[in-house]
Amino acid sequence: MDNHGIARVARTLRTDEQRRQDVEKINKYRQLDESIRAQASSGAYDPALFQLTSRLLRLNPEYYTIWNVRRRCLISGLLSKPSAGSWPSKASPSSSLSDTTKPSCDESSSSSSAAIPPDPSFPTTGKSGTTAELTGSDHQQPPSESDVASDINMLQSELAFTMPMLLEHPKCYWIWKYRNWILEQAILRLPAQAARKIWEAELALDSMMLTKDTRNFHAWGYRRRLVARLESPALLGKSMVEDEFDYTTMKIEGNLSNFSAWHSRSRLLLRLLDERGLDDKARAAFLDEELEYIQEGLNVGPDDQSLWYYHRYLVLQIVGRATGQSSIAPALAVEERVAYLTKEIQFINELLEDYGDIKWICKALLEYTLALQELSQGSDSDGQQDDPRTWLAKLRKLDPMQAGRWDDVERKLASHSTQAEQ
Amino acid sequence: MAGTQTGILPDELQLATAKHVKYIQSLDTRKDEYDYWLTEHLRLNGLYWGLTALYLLRHPDALPRAETIDFVLSCQHENGGFGAAPGHDAHMLYTVSAVQLLALVDAFDDLENRGKGKGKAQVAKFIADLQDRETGTFAGDEWGEEDTRFLYGALNALSLLGMTHLVDVDKAVEHIAACANFDGGYGVSPGAESHSGQIFTCVAALTIAGRKDLIDVDKLAGWLSERQLPNGGLNGRPEKDEDVCYSWWVLSSLDMIGRTHWINREKLIGFILRCQDTQDGGLSDRPGNMVDVWHTLFGLTGLSLLGYPGLDAIDPVYCLPRSTTERVLGKST
């Protein structure tokens, strides 16, 4: 019902044989669906029902209700009862637990990497999970070591089960949501170190998903959640802002057009600076470096929107707003800001000499020239400046599709200059 | 701006109204196709997409009203929420579609008389209970996952039901403000990248809450209008491909902030019309691809916002015909 990128083929009449096969498939699917519903409504969320959900979800991972049935099976006995919260800190965290959990972790993570088949259409993976699907229904409380071991097994096998589906359907909301829920169960049920291992493995998986599709919106959002949790006390975490900042650099070097990475960089930057505890001079030096970095990019890809958006972000930092919001270099004096912006405008003017017909260059010049005018009003460094109308006239030629926008800008400029004359 | 050039468009670039009506009517007759069963988790949404499209095409009676109401009510749970189809779990997404459908066919009385529990109030309670009172945002169901899609859905349905007082609207607004990015856009949660679909949900939620003053209009309009590609189609994020559904997400957002004239109207009309299957009806994501009812609706709502002739006006906030929201809300939005 939601087709993306699938070529249109004529709805040809099916042969009798095809029709017969379809009917057979439908009947099998509906029977499976019916048995799940019947058993779920009887309230018996047992291992047998759990296995039925495995079968159906492999056929249709979008069927959200079945994921919910599966969750109910897990919390109705396949997983231990969650601990009351103080458990991770009370249990002597060192040797005994990590000794018992480590082997099963390694074992499961090797089975989960085995679950990443070279051919993502491989339909029967998750088998490794089925042995564990039947275990763990018996437990006492408070959580014993065997509870922990069996929970780890169960949670790992759930992650392995959904792995091939995620590879095949990387934009399916319900799979991401289910994995996130499984990870939260790890926090609820496992000692913090054991839970942390699972979350760390998931971050590695997320990186792999972002290698396959560098813009996957789900994977970027998921990454932010993973990192926030990995930084939290619940997982004995500490700040990962340096690592994540480096990650954006790596993704950008892989592909300059990756706006998701540029965006992420813009969200990490200020925290990074605060945590580094840099003084004003060092912050200004950081701004210089970022400007240099984006300029290098623009020299290579002057028609790349992603780069221009990030440049615009940095210019916003330069212009600053008197709202008390933090910025990269909040201590810059107005004259310094004017100097920074003038330098950027100069750089773009040089780009223009080589690439006279790129609309993004003129857009930046229009916007920054106006920003400079505004900024200079409060300073004495009001030297010779370009007339924004020059850029507007060029934009009308280079970007006629946005004629309505340029009309509005022109009207605004006119009303400003009338006000100025009065 | 005048001049849809419809008079001089070649045949394949006319709106194939009759074909589209037939296509939508055919959707529920495909029970011998495997795909029909694989998409049951979208049934209630699908009915909303299809019926709204039919209203825009001025064929509101092309699906029988009584059966529509019966089907919607058959998806309801005791807690007031709706699932995608009978026996499917309740979730915000389907509950919003149910309320929209009942608004569309003017059947709130049926909900009141035949719905579970306390009728409208029961539905509103299901939605209100999904608000995270600390952050202001909403979950989709009891299993968590928060997303500005659900926040918008909640305000959409609650305002149609006249029950926004059940939730903390100010907190919800605060949450949206926290989702704003430097480029003027909004993401799925604080920190997330701007995305046209998410921008629609945030701008529409702010519109319902009466807080459009929080939007950086020129910056957002600049970003949105830069979604248009040389072929006329719109993309959802920088450096991505075009897709017909963004004709809705981008354009409705531009409409709510009064800037639809920042994109090229004729080129977008041409792109949407080229996505039609003029043989069997329906619209696809891009020219030549498989059609579906989702892209069919969002192509048509795009054309409607562009003032394309022969289509009823769509409300950019609710994604319902303006005639519906005017009737239900007693005013134009």
Nearest beta carbon to residue B191 from set A8, A11, A224? A224
Q: Which of chain B's residues have a Cβ under 8 Å away from the Cβ of A220?
A: 192-193
Q: Over B17-47, what HEC string results? A: HHHHHHHHHHHHHCCCCHHHHHCHHHHHHHH
Chains A, B: CB pairs < 8 Å: 155
Distances (CA, A) of A132 to A110, A150, A315: 15, 8, 55
**Interface contact A270, partner B, CB < 8 A:** no
Residue A322 is predicted with a pLDDT of: 46
Q: How many domains is chain B partitioned into structurally?
A: 1
The residues, any chain, with a CB within 8 Å of residue A224's CB and separated by 6 or more, are: A264, B189, B191, B192
* Domain CATH number, residue B108: 1.50.10.20
Instruction: Name the DSSP class of B185.
Output: -
CA-based nearest distance A89→chain B, Å: 26
**Residues A298, A306: Cα–Cα separation, whole Å:** 10
Minimal CA separation from B279 to chain A, in Å: 9
Q: Is the dihedral of CA A68, A74, A76, A81 positive or negative?
A: negative
| Cβ–Cβ contact B221 with A under 8 A | yes
In this predicted structure, what is the pLDDT of residue A313? 95
Which residues does chain A have with pLDDT short of 70?
1-2, 11-12, 83-143, 321-325, 378-385, 420-422
CA A146: distance to chain centroid? 35
User: Is A76 touching B (CB cutoff 8 A)?
Assistant: no
Is residue B199 in some structural domain? yes
Query: Is B38 close to A306, i.e. CB distance below 8 A?
Result: no
* Predicted pLDDT of residue B47: 98
Distance (Å, rounded) from C-alpha B61 to C-alpha B83?
Answer: 25
> The tokens 């699932």 sit on which residue?
B83
| 3-state SS, residue A191 | coil
Cα–Cα distance measured from residue A257 to residue A260, given in angstroms and rounded to the nearest whole number: 9
Give the H or E element holding residue B141.
strand B139-141
What is the C-alpha to C-alpha distance for residues A118 and B143, in angstroms, rounded to an integer? 32
- Is the CB of B191 less than 8 angstroms away from the CB of A267? yes
Torsion of CA A164, A170, A176, A182, to 10 degrees: 20
Cβ contact, residue pair B262, A19, below 8 Å? no
Sign of CA pseudo-dihedral A320, A325, A328, A333: positive
Q: How far is A64 from chain B (nearest CA, A)?
A: 7
CB B59 within 8 A of CB A53: no
pLDDT of B321 > 60? The answer is yes
Q: Is A263 on the interface with B (CB under 8 A)?
A: yes
**Other beta carbons less than 10 A from residue B59's beta carbon:** 18
Does B151 map to a domain? yes
Per-residue pLDDT of B195-231, as tens digits, reads 999 999 999 999 999 999 999 999 999 999 999 999 9
Domain housing B165:
10-329
Give B248-279 pLDDT, tens digit per residue. 999 999 999 999 999 999 999 999 999 999 99
Q: Is B33 on the interface with A (CB under 8 A)?
A: yes
d(CA A294, CA A302): 11
- Under DSSP, is residue B209 helix (H, G, I), strand (E, B) or coil? coil
Residue whose tokens read 């994995």: A179
Determine the distance from the C-alpha atom of residue A234 to the mean position of all C-alpha atoms in its chain, rounded to a whole number.
Answer: 21
Contact A96, A68 (CB under 8 A): no
Q: Which pair of tokens denotes residue B101? A: 């459908």
Q: Summarize the confidence of residues B32-57 as an average pLDDT.
A: 96
Q: Which residue has the tokens 């299901």?
A: B126
How would you classify the pairing of strands B144-146 and B139-141? antiparallel
Based on its alpha-carbon atoms, the radius of gyration of chain A, rounded to whole angstroms, reads 29
ipTM: 0.94
B195-231 as b/e, with b when 16 or more CB fall inside 10 Å? bbbbbbbbbbbbbbbebeeebbebbbbbbbbbbbeee
Q: Do B239 and A306 touch (CB under 8 A)?
A: yes
Is B228 in Cβ contact with A304 (below 8 Å)? no
Structural domain includes residue B17: yes
Distance of CA B163 to the CA centre of its chain: 20
- Residue B5 included in any domain: no
Q: Distance (Å, rounded) from C-alpha B240 to C-alpha B222? A: 17
**Residue of chain A nearest B42, judged by CA positions:** A1
| Per-domain residue ranges of chain A | 23-81+104-238
SS3 A251: helix
The answer to whether residue A62 neighbours chain B at the CB level (below 8 Å) is: yes
CATH top-level class for A23-81+104-238?
mainly alpha
Q: Which of B41, B254, B278, B306 to mutate to test the interface with A (most CBs of A within 10 A)?
A: B41
